[in-house]
Amino acid sequence: MGILKALGRGFRVDTLRFAGLIYLVNVSGGLVLYAGLFLLLRFSPELAHRIPETGFTEPPILMILEWIRTHPEGMGQVATLAATVALFYMLSTLFLSGGVYAVLLAGGKKTLRDVFLQAVIQFPRMASITLGILVLGGAVIGLEGALLITILKVFASSGNGSLAIVLLTIWVLSCVFVLFWIIAVYDIGRVLRIQTEKNTFVALWRALGFVVKNKVPFFALFTLFLLIMALMHFLLSLLPSPSISLLTGIAVVLVHQVFILLKYFVKIAVMRVETALVETAIQPPAVPPGGSPS
Amino acid sequence: MKRFRKPIPHRLIFYGWVLFLWIGMATPPLSAQILPGDARVSYRIEAQLFPAQKKLLAQETIVWKNTSSRPVNTLVFHLYPNAFRSEKTTYFTEAGYHRKSKEELSTLQFGGIDVTEMRVVEGEELTGKIRFISPDDGNRDDTTVAEVDLRNPVPPNGQIVLKLNFALTIPQIFSRSGQAGQYFFMGQWFPKLGVLDGAGRWHAHQYHLHSEFFAEFGHYQVALTLPEEFIVGASGTLINKTKNADGTYTHVFEEDHIHDFAWVACPFFKEIIERIALEGRTQEITIVLLLSHPRAKDRYLSALRYAMAFYAKHIYPYPYRKLTLVDPPFTGLRSGGMEYPTLITGAHLDLLPSSVRLTEWVTVHEFGHQYWYGIVGTDEAREAWLDEGVNTYFELEIMEGLFKDSPSLVNLPLLRLSVPEYHRQRAFAGTRLDRINQPSWHFMDGASYAAAVYSRTATLLWSLRNLVGRDRMLGFFKRYAETFRYKHPESSDFLALFNRHTGEDFTWAFERYVNGYETLDHAVYSIESTRIQDDLGLFQNEVVFVRNQGYFPVELQITLENGEHIHQSWNTPENRKEIRFTAPSPIAEARIDPDFKVPLDENRLNNLKRRIPSRKGISRLIAGAGLMFQHLLSLLVL
């Protein structure tokens, strides 16, 4: 299957169903934090008297800075809550990714119940692949770190500013390149682990081979993904601050929700394209070896 | 990439130079023995850099005049390169290097200065009498200050001429000075006398982690010999450049009324000479720019133009013939953001977007030092606030003018920060165990030093400026800079002139916030409005304002529910102020400092209080924070 056809399979309206599922997890995580902040801030009689209702005289970030500085214990509570929610959220998305990949491999025409059922079945595989990629990815990141230290030592001994910029730019690009490979291998490794492969490291090895063999479609897919994300964030930056007035605030929050949903849509679409590429490459032969079709 | 001829001089040249210095000791030029004009000291240095060996050999002639009322029989020198001699020096001890392992220490390139000869011209041999002292901390492993006793004391108004030979092993750049590959930044690199006050006391401090420098005004003539490919920038003005028989070049720089001399050399520089029109004359500027930073030139220049024009208008025009701005490489950034007389170092990172105004910020700050550290010449080691704090106040004025249409420090979509707000936040971050006015080596750590000396001082001065008026404040600084030009004023001089200029006694402010440990916090404590039963339509209103800490005159504003504002000043020192009045409307809210004129108030959140609580504002803050969190989560999807 060509990349264009695969893209057509990924960027379909019914991808929104899966995106909506992950979005719900995001909203749940967000709501936990909203609730925590409400408990901490909104029911504080002191702040209810202190924070201006409208027309903040200074940017909210400065009020937050002021609050952090004058309430360090409150900041600790918020940070702990945010970290816990983020961890739970990542585990939830990992859990759901198994179900989504399995359902996509089965043609995508399944119910949400099937997604959850498959998520439960596939979770150990997803977890093992994630651990595997953390080990391998960690090693690669360690190598990048060592490379950076070597580059800095070269600068220190040469003092050449031009060389410094060139080498640092190359290093940043190599980090992006490495990240691309890690994400691609992780995604394909999960697909292969669900589809056929029982061994995690073999799945990752085969995924690496697959990505190498299909590097052009993968590069095109990830470039498209980055461009769409950059465009979405640019559009988001044009929105006004939610603190201007109540109505504007509500409208801005709603628009942000649509953007967040669309980001998940793009992510699931990419997963779907990857699945299509794998399916094409590892299709069973038309005539089984050693026999005729029944 | 352009290849340069390796600057390795023949070994014979190296030893030949040693021989030349030895011969030079025997025949001092007469011109070096005359102290020009009103100079209190003059330095004449001839130095040659050997880049491959990371060595420098030099001959120095010092003419010094005893301006005190007592005979002087001891001379005190700074030998600052010795700060980097071993991990046991005061600098490295304060920086925690003594806790590093042997393996870590073995990778460091230490350095230091050896005074191989010192004697009085046609007189006493002093080399063997050099004695290291540690006036600040008693550290015997620190050799950054030395003294020598003279057989014949120098009488009041008498002069002495000294000849010195010294060899420098140039360390890597740990702090401000040293080498990084082929980049050499030479600050505090030669034996330099301390400052003798009128009572005959020497002021000379060891090289500390945080403190900067103090020296006597004088005349400098420095001849630097380097390989051809090195571009050189230095304090003063280039008066001669000659090619030598061995292919090296000698650059001679000279300047009057300066108290230090720094220089830089690197093959990867480009020298750009610009002229700026200032108050009816043209000022020459040299930018020693890295070849890889072509985009930095315009940013450096626009910041310098604005800063020089600001000082020319409000203080007086920059008085020296030339200013040199050095653009350090990434590997030499530890020499960046630093001031020397007529030479400053910037800080430019090509990878940062221009909406982060680092280049302009550092340039404006370092140029300002030309006045407070440079021309006024306060003691940066003992009373750093007089230079760094005053200069940071001017940094606020200039950056707010230079970027008047957008936040002056960072203008990114998610972070918009002005320079005054940055300093205000830093001023109050962390604990406040250090007062502003204390020797720099007494501060708990670097963060505390920076918060107090730079940011808290500037925040206090900004508050005082709003109290006395901007014109009066700038008028004071003009008078201060004129009165104490080349005179080394102290904190007491600053305060006395401030009181005299403003016609008010501000001792309370300096005693509380500069010499003392106080902080300032106002709060609206309570609001009450009660309907008066007998007189329909009227309310008995009461607001209580408190000062949790400190004292500073401040404006109060009470807003009634009918939109009427009531203003009052609170400029008496009691800690509580109650305002009671009858009005046809109850109080909606009370604010302290509604126009935000007292940034010294460290907690702004309690400066407002509404009578009836409302959670709308909090809801909006929560919505903003929650949205940011949701977006963050969307990036963490697995």
What tens digit of pLDDT does each residue of B98-157 get?
Answer: 888 999 899 999 999 999 999 999 889 999 999 999 999 999 999 999 999 999 999 999
- Enumerate the β-bridge partners of residue B522: B547
pLDDT at B24 over 60: no
Which of B:257-296 have CB within 8 Å of A? Answer: 266, 268, 290-293
Backbone Cα Rg of chain A: 24
B contacts of A86 (beta carbons < 8 Å): 632-633, 636
Instruction: Please answer whether residues B58 and B168 qualify as being in contact, where contact means their C-beta atoms are separated by less than 8 angstroms.
Output: yes
In a domain, A285, yes or no: no
H or E segment to which residue B5 belongs? none
Predicted confidence band of residue A223 (pLDDT cuts 50, 70, 90):
confident
Can you tell me the mean pLDDT for B412-420?
A: 82
The residue range of the domain holding A98 is 3-280
Q: Name the token pair of B444.
A: 């708990």
What tens digit of pLDDT does each residue of A147-196 get?
Answer: 888 877 766 555 555 666 677 788 888 888 888 888 889 988 988 888 87
Measured distance CA(B41)–CA(B194) in Å, rounded: 11
DSSP state, residue B573: -
What tens digit of pLDDT does each residue of B207-230 get?
Answer: 999 989 999 999 999 999 999 999
Q: Name the token pair of A179.
A: 């990240």
Measured distance CA(A138)–CA(A142) in Å, rounded: 6
Best residue in B521, B633, B635 for a mutation probing chain A (most A CBs within 10 Å):
B633
pLDDT, position A56: 43
Judged by CB atoms closer than 8 Å, whether chains meet at B351 and A241 is answered as no
- The 3-state DSSP class for residue B271 equals strand
In 3D space, the residue among B24, B108, B13 whose CA is nearest the CA of residue B51 turns out to be B13
pLDDT at B23 over 50: no
What tens digit of pLDDT does each residue of B535-566 get?
Answer: 678 999 999 999 999 999 999 999 999 999 99
Q: Tell me how far the alpha carbon of residue B269 is from its chain's centroid.
A: 25
H or E segment to which residue B153 belongs? strand B145-154
pLDDT, position A290: 41
H or E segment to which residue B417 belongs? strand B416-417
pLDDT at A137 over 50: yes
Q: DSSP letters of B94-121?
A: HTTGGGS-HHHHHTS---EEEEEEEEET
CATH number assigned to the domain covering B387-513: 1.10.390
Mean pLDDT of chain B: 91
Examine domains B1-267 and B521-613 and report if their fold is the same: yes
pLDDT, position B32: 43
Find, in chain A, the residue whose alpha carbon is nearest to that of B266: A159
Q: Please tell me if residue B629 touches chain A, with a CB cutoff of 8 Å.
A: yes
H or E segment to which residue B11 belongs? helix B11-26
Judged by CB atoms closer than 8 Å, whether chains meet at A37 and B622 is answered as yes
Measured distance CA(B445)–CA(B431) in Å, rounded: 11
Measured distance CA(B183)–CA(B116) in Å, rounded: 26
- In the numeric block, the tokens 């992950």 are attached to A22
Can you tell me the mean pLDDT for B168-190?
A: 95
Measured distance CA(A245)–CA(A249) in Å, rounded: 6
pLDDT at A45 over 80: no
> Is this prediction's ipTM beyond 0.85?
no
- In the numeric block, the tokens 């400190």 are attached to B550
Q: Residue A124: which residues within 8 A CB-CB, separation 6 or more?
A: none
Which of A25-29, B269-273, B314-318, B514-518 has the lowest average pLDDT? A25-29
| A97-111, B455-469, B599-613, range with greatest mean pLDDT | B455-469
Domain boundaries, chain B: 1-267, 387-513, 521-613
Q: Residue B257: which residues within 8 A CB-CB, separation 6 or more?
A: B39, B217, B218, B219, B319, B320, B375, B486
A220 φ, ψ (degrees, to nearest 5): -65, -45
- The 3-state DSSP class for residue A123 equals helix
pLDDT, position A287: 43
Considering only the top CATH level, what class is B1-267? mainly beta
Measured distance CA(B484)–CA(B490) in Å, rounded: 10
Measured distance CA(B537)–CA(B535) in Å, rounded: 6
pLDDT, position B2: 39
Q: How far is CA B94 from CA B116, B174, B208, in A?
A: 29, 13, 7
pLDDT, position A160: 57
Shortest Cα distance from A194 to chain B (angstroms)? 16
What tens digit of pLDDT does each residue of A252-280 get?
Answer: 888 888 888 888 888 888 888 888 888 77
pLDDT, position B472: 97
Instruction: Please answer whether residues B519 and B561 qualify as being in contact, where contact means their C-beta atoms are separated by less than 8 angstroms.
Output: no
- In the numeric block, the tokens 């000294």 are attached to B162
pLDDT at B25 over 50: no
Shortest Cα distance from A176 to chain B (angstroms)? 16
pLDDT, position B89: 97
Considering only the top CATH level, what class is B521-613? mainly beta
Can you tell me the mean pLDDT for B502-519?
A: 96
B301/A223: higher pLDDT: B301
Domain total of chain A: 1
What beta strand segments (E) does B507-623 contain?
521-531, 539-549, 554-560, 565-570, 576-583, 587-592, 608-610
Predicted confidence band of residue A42 (pLDDT cuts 50, 70, 90):
low
In 3D space, the residue among B170, B223, B212 whose CA is nearest the CA of residue B332 turns out to be B170
Shortest Cα distance from A234 to chain B (angstroms)? 10
B499/A199: higher pLDDT: B499
What tens digit of pLDDT does each residue of B625-638 get?
Answer: 788 888 888 887 77
